[in-house]
Amino acid sequence: MSIERTIRYTGEEVTILWKQHLCTHSKKCWQNLPAVFKPGERPWIHPDGADGPRIIDQVCQCPSGALSIAEPTTTSETNEPMNDETTTIELAPNGPLLVKGTIQVKHADGRVEVKETKCALCRCGASGNKPYCDGSHRSSGFQG
Ligand code: SF4
Ligand code: FES
């Protein structure tokens, strides 16, 4: 199981939060905004690489919920604004179930997590971070 921790990247306008254990390595962030997300560098996120609204827009497109924005003066997190009460589940071709809404995850060891933004649940069985997708569906050649 991967370590569950949140890494902060603080910039002039926004602080980006990244939960490594939720990242499915979809590549969307670095393909769409390479001035901010640079997987070949350490640190790999550069929060001053683009203006705040552009970064927030990209963070909201993270399909797994690994990325979010923290208000500089509070500890609260925002991801995509919730505009209704409906929880939706979208099937990613050859990949995870993308869940958007409020869900409760009950782990086998009794831990309960409430997720209010987005997460990606493994559908291929190969994830090392179940029930979440960790991107292993690509190397396992999962189709479905
Ligand atoms: S899951 Fe999110 S953080 Fe991970 S690569 Fe995709 S867009 Fe970036
Ligand atoms: S669906 Fe992504 S690791 Fe299983």
DSSP notation for 71-84: -TTSS-EE-SPP-S
- For the chain, the first-to-last Cα distance in angstroms comes to 24
Structure tokens at 41: 């560098």
Query: What are the tens digits of pLDDT across the range 89-99?
Result: 889 899 999 88
Distance CA 119, CA 64 (A): 4
Atom nearest to 135 CA in ligand 1: 1
Percentage of the chain modeled with pLDDT above 90? 40
Q: How far is CA 85 from the centre of its chain?
A: 20
Atom nearest to 95 CA in ligand 2: 1
Query: What are the tens digits of pLDDT across the range 102-111?
Result: 878 888 888 8
Q: Which residues line ligand 1 (CB under 6 A)?
A: 23-29, 62-64, 66-67
Residue 107 CA, ligand 1 centroid: distance in Å: 23
| Nearest listed ligand to the Cα of residue 133 | 2
